[in-house]
Structure 1
Amino acid sequence: MPVGIFRVCLVVITAIVNHPLLFPKENGTILENTEEIIQKMKEREEILRLEKLRLEQEIEGQEAAQKVLEKAAKVVEDVKEEKVQWDMWTALSMVIFLLIELWRQDFQEGNWQDTGADEDDMAVLGKAFKGVAFPDKAILASFYEKRILGTTGDMARMREMVEGFADDLLEALRSVCNRDADMEVEDCMGVGSMYENWRVRKPFVCDLIVPFAPPEPYCFRSQIWCSGNSFPPDEQGYGTIKVCRADEDETGCICDKTKLGEDMLCLLHSQGNTTRLSSEMEDLLCFKNTQYLDADQVMKWFQIAVTKAWNKISHKYEFDLSFSLLDSPGALKIKFKSGKSIAFNLTPVVQYENSDVYFISHFPRNCLAADLPSSTHWFLTFAVYERRFIQMISKMLPANACHVSCLQILSFLHGKQCSLTGPSGLSNYHLKTVLLHLLQTRPSQDWAPEKLEVRLQDMLKFLEKCLHEKKLYHFFIGNGKVPAELGFPIIFQRAEPLNLFRPFVLHRDVYRKTIDTFHEMLRNTSALISEYMVHIPNGIQKESV
């Protein structure tokens, strides 16, 4: 457009300069042929008019093109702005939905980790208690003294006897093993209800775990589901154990540790060494053609080693030792000549790094226990930390606190109900987990001995709530409030909470059976307790808590 304006101005200036009237010639003589001049001026004027029209049309065309370009640019800008706004709204909506979901999960998790602040909610959720005649604290105290308290001495004597025999058996096992080729077995440790002093059901069974390690120069390298690697949801709570040489890198080769010549090949990577390496790994109890520790292989090795050890020391004892359960390879039974027997579990485990978390080769089965993804997947047990937590909390509670009593009574009631109506999806470990959560959230004074009744009801209401939601979270995994004094690994505290009731979502028939058993247990509570209680005088009234 500026070029066109310049052309118009140039034509006008040229016309003015050449006009004879404005700039006459020096001689001042008027041409005689005036008509000819006028005709030429008209022709020039016509030419200028046509040029002007052409220039105007060109200017209009350029202006129209410019408007089209500006309109197109505006449309593109509007589209981009709308797209940005749409993307912003989409992102904002996703953020809002995510925050709502996180808030919902936090709220639900807060219910199981912070139950002390939700008294009204607990009261509403205790619908199963309506119409149930729950025993008062006088009856509960009498029942506890008559039926449960007397078993403590029996447990102490049994623990002492089993531990002494297990130490002798493991010492014999070490002597019969090849120190250069076999696994190295450490001292056993007691875990579970017998060592937490709340076991009530007979027969009493001691649970002992035995850490073991590979011979030199090998070591175990573990990988857990919360270590940042991708694990399917059904493998949460599990891990794998790789057998490596101590000088190997993470890829399983020592060639990076050694300076090899350009014309040399790492033997570990050579095809000719594959058979030898596979055979070597199988000798180290690995799964076929892998470097991963096989739980089935470990249990076979352990059973053979225990058998050899018993054959070596059997002459010292006046009883027989045998494996008692086919589906529990570590289950042993001592049988005396009188016919009496003592059962205990001796299970090999692998330590996780430098902690008291262990990979356990075998876990007691119940109707909720899902099959392991493979024999190279090991379940993690936090039993040592659980025992340590209960001991630590017990020192902070009032004398003769009722926390252990609550767990014992609840375990007794559930066991009696299952003996009447068949097994349910609940286990004693679930009941203990409920107690651990309440111990962390309830003030210490709430566990005074005279509050046995109300605390037992709290446990039942909390359990009912968890069953209703199908959510009971593992006490340690994902719990950032674990006391620092325990020295618990931070990686498990930062992990996603592990729902112990997840199998209920997958097995509806088991869930329905568990719910029915729980409600039946509540209705039968008074009858089950009255069967074992001493006579309470009628003058004793129920005291308020």
Structure 2
Amino acid sequence: MRAYGWAGPDTPGFGICIFPARKSKCREGTAMPVGIFRVCLVVITAIINRPFLFPKENGTVPENTEEIIQKMKEREENLRLQKLRLEQEIAGQEAAQQALEKAAKVVEEIKEEKVPWDMWTALSMVIFLLIELWRQDFQEGNWQDTGAEEDDMAVLGKAFKGVAFPDKATLASFYEKRILGTTGDMARMREMVEGFADDLLEALRSVCNRDADMEVEDCMGVGSMYENWRVRKPFVCDLIVPFAPPEPYCFRSQIWCSGDSFAPDEQGYGTIKVCRADEDVTGCICDKTKLGEDMLCLLHSQGNTSKPSSEMEDLLCFKNTQYLDADQVMKWFQIAVTKAWNRISHKYEFDLSFSLLDSPGALKIKFRSGKSVAFNLTPVVQYENSDVYFISHFPRNELVAELPSSTRWFLTFAVYERRFIQLISKTLPAGACHISCLQILSFLHGKQCSLTGPSGLTNYHLKTVMLHLLQARPSQDWAPEKLEARLQDMLKFLEKCLHEKKLYHFFVGNEKVPAELGFPITFQRAEPLNLFRPFVLRRDVYRKTVDTFHEMLRNTSALINEYTVHIPLAHTNGIHKEAI
């Protein structure tokens, strides 16, 4: 007797088929009927022992049968349209391929060993494998976990289809009336804020102890206000202020792509160690050679050690460590700014206050007339000799998780981003539409969020989309008359990134960054940094973001036409008068 047994990984029972192993002269004549009988017996056994084929044991028809059938039909149609499959489906396909190859290999080995197995027995094993793979992919629990997200993906693939997009005349009028009409005062605001910030920092230096306190450098403007694409009010100038420790100390930084001390979810961050300058012994012979007892290094004394001490805490380090603490830096900076303002407040006819408690330099100027001007003055630490900076605190949203320790610092590439936009703008046609596209997209997203609440998308994501397209498309494609086409490109690119949950940082891992920028090679050779990685971990935020994106697409024409009422109705691309 020969026994063939097979047990599934998820069920308590298994089926066994027993066939007599007898030799007969009539075996060849009866091989086909016996094979068919074996296949039937295998299928019957699987049905009896595998209740997954009949999920309802009582045999009653569920009340929502039509709804389930409709969803399955929709899913089948969506799967044919989608080119990208989910990771579980890819893994299933690979497993199936491996299983089939293994089964074929087993059959070949059996043939070589002349075991009395025929084609029908091998076919039975293949049927078992296919049924098991089908069960794992469509069992009830897995369907509920992934079905909703796959429906989102199917809708997302069709989101841009059927959208009534404004024509060129409507877009041009909207941009002139809504965007240009509200950004004309940005230059005067920047000039006023920069002048006041320089005065405030000069006063800050005068109140600090030059021998024991941090040394503050001049501020630099970054972000949308200095890249000329800010559209949402209130306008806020972002200024970063590099600072350094007093002599003989220095900062030594470590980034996530230079070692193994960072967890995978901490990509994009770094640490800053406070050391004495004489601890850098790479060029001193006393560290490489054992000096005699009667010899003394003039650079290093026995009292200079790298062990943490209370002196490190005075240098804004985390307790009992040599690592710079972002919270300590925040407290120090707020106290220093307060002292500096008290020294120069008599010169100005307005009040200065902190507008956000959890941000070290979120300041607000309030005039006696009631008007106010907000700006951010944020302390940063330079990374080596580059224009990459560690920033103590960054504007956070739902996607940015809290860091496990205040010794982990964010990295900002804002200076290089501003420099790249300036560099690429010189190669584009006069009046290029790249900034206009970003401004319109930022306006639409901001308006939609004001209606339906915040989403996981930020203006930084929108700017990243523009940077990728600027590098990918020829310069002539950004002519001013191609505003409509490029805006649609940005929306489609953003749709694709949401679909894949992948939006890579423009600079990190990008080897095509122009050499003229002088961008650090360390970051160019690093693994690409996915800005949408939190979407994989936070499905609630992801669905909210997708819903907001869909709603924004549907409302695009209505939002734009709301500010172009002077355009004749014939040019509103089908928008009804009530919508205007």
Using the alignment, how far apart are the partners of 1:338 and 1:281 within structure 2? Answer: 46
Taking a change above 3 Å as real, the CA distance of residues 265 and 162 of structure 1, as seen in their structure-2 partners, is same
Shift of residue 236 of structure 1?
0.7
* 1:328-367 Cα distance to aligned partner (Å, 9 max, x none): 2220000001110000000000000110000000100111
Query: Is the deviation greater in 328-337 or in 105-114?
Result: 105-114
Query: Is the deviation greater in 423-432 or in 361-370?
Result: 361-370
Using the alignment, how far apart are the partners of 1:37 and 1:308 within structure 2? Answer: 68
Taking a change above 3 Å as real, the CA distance of residues 48 and 85 of structure 1, as seen in their structure-2 partners, is closer
Superposition map of 1:128-277 within 5 A: 128-249=159-280, 256=287, 262=293, 277=308
* 1:235-257 Cα distance to aligned partner (Å, 9 max, x none): 11111011111111379999738
Aligned length: 545
Normalised to the residue count of structure 2, the TM-score between the two structures is 0.69
Q: Is the 8 A contact 1:350 1:358 kept in 2?
A: yes
Query: Is the deviation greater in 70-79 or in 192-201?
Result: 70-79
* 1:445-483 Cα distance to aligned partner (Å, 9 max, x none): 100111101100000000000001100000000001000
Taking a change above 3 Å as real, the CA distance of residues 338 and 269 of structure 1, as seen in their structure-2 partners, is same
> What is residue 51 of structure 1 aligned with on the other side?
82
Identity of aligned residues (%): 92
Query: Is the deviation greater in 144-153 or in 258-267?
Result: 258-267
Shift of residue 180 of structure 1?
0.2
Query: Is the deviation greater in 19-28 or in 229-238?
Result: 19-28
> What is residue 525 of structure 2 aligned with on the other side?
494
Query: Is the deviation greater in 456-465 or in 271-280?
Result: 271-280
Shift of residue 152 of structure 1?
3.1
Query: Is the deviation greater in 154-163 or in 34-43?
Result: 34-43
* 1:269-288 Cα distance to aligned partner (Å, 9 max, x none): 99999999511100111111
Shift of residue 417 of structure 1?
0.3
Q: Is the 8 A contact 1:213 1:219 kept in 2?
A: yes
Taking a change above 3 Å as real, the CA distance of residues 255 and 422 of structure 1, as seen in their structure-2 partners, is farther
Query: Is the deviation greater in 467-476 or in 368-377?
Result: 368-377
Taking a change above 3 Å as real, the CA distance of residues 72 and 338 of structure 1, as seen in their structure-2 partners, is closer
Taking a change above 3 Å as real, the CA distance of residues 86 and 410 of structure 1, as seen in their structure-2 partners, is farther
Using the alignment, how far apart are the partners of 1:300 and 1:83 within structure 2? Answer: 82
* 1:9-67 Cα distance to aligned partner (Å, 9 max, x none): 99999999999999999999999999999999999999999999999999999999999
Query: Is the deviation greater in 257-266 or in 199-208?
Result: 257-266
Is 1:539 the counterpart of 2:574? The answer is yes
* 1:153-178 Cα distance to aligned partner (Å, 9 max, x none): 21101000000000000000000000
Shift of residue 130 of structure 1?
1.8
Greater helix fraction, Structure 1 or Structure 2: 1
- Aligned-residue Cα RMSD (Å) equals 26.1
Secondary structure of the structure 2 residue equivalent to 1:269: coil
Taking a change above 3 Å as real, the CA distance of residues 544 and 438 of structure 1, as seen in their structure-2 partners, is farther
Taking a change above 3 Å as real, the CA distance of residues 66 and 110 of structure 1, as seen in their structure-2 partners, is closer
* 1:105-155 Cα distance to aligned partner (Å, 9 max, x none): 999999999999999999998621222111111100000000001233211
Query: Is the deviation greater in 107-116 or in 497-506?
Result: 107-116
Using the alignment, how far apart are the partners of 2:372 and 2:92 within structure 1? Answer: 109
Shift of residue 530 of structure 1?
1.1
Normalised to the residue count of structure 1, the TM-score between the two structures is 0.74
Taking a change above 3 Å as real, the CA distance of residues 50 and 318 of structure 1, as seen in their structure-2 partners, is closer
Gaps spanning 5+ residues in structure 1: where? none
Shift of residue 75 of structure 1?
22
Q: Is the 8 A contact 1:116 1:441 kept in 2?
A: no
Using the alignment, how far apart are the partners of 1:35 and 1:195 within structure 2? Answer: 57
Taking a change above 3 Å as real, the CA distance of residues 139 and 299 of structure 1, as seen in their structure-2 partners, is same
Q: Is the 8 A contact 1:116 1:442 kept in 2?
A: no
Larger radius of gyration: 1
Taking a change above 3 Å as real, the CA distance of residues 11 and 224 of structure 1, as seen in their structure-2 partners, is closer
Shift of residue 420 of structure 1?
0.3
Gaps spanning 5+ residues in structure 2: where? 1-31
Taking a change above 3 Å as real, the CA distance of residues 431 and 186 of structure 1, as seen in their structure-2 partners, is same
Shift of residue 259 of structure 1?
7.0
* 1:431-452 Cα distance to aligned partner (Å, 9 max, x none): 0000000000000010011110
Taking a change above 3 Å as real, the CA distance of residues 85 and 472 of structure 1, as seen in their structure-2 partners, is farther
Using the alignment, how far apart are the partners of 1:37 and 1:460 within structure 2? Answer: 33
Using the alignment, how far apart are the partners of 1:34 and 1:101 within structure 2? Answer: 24
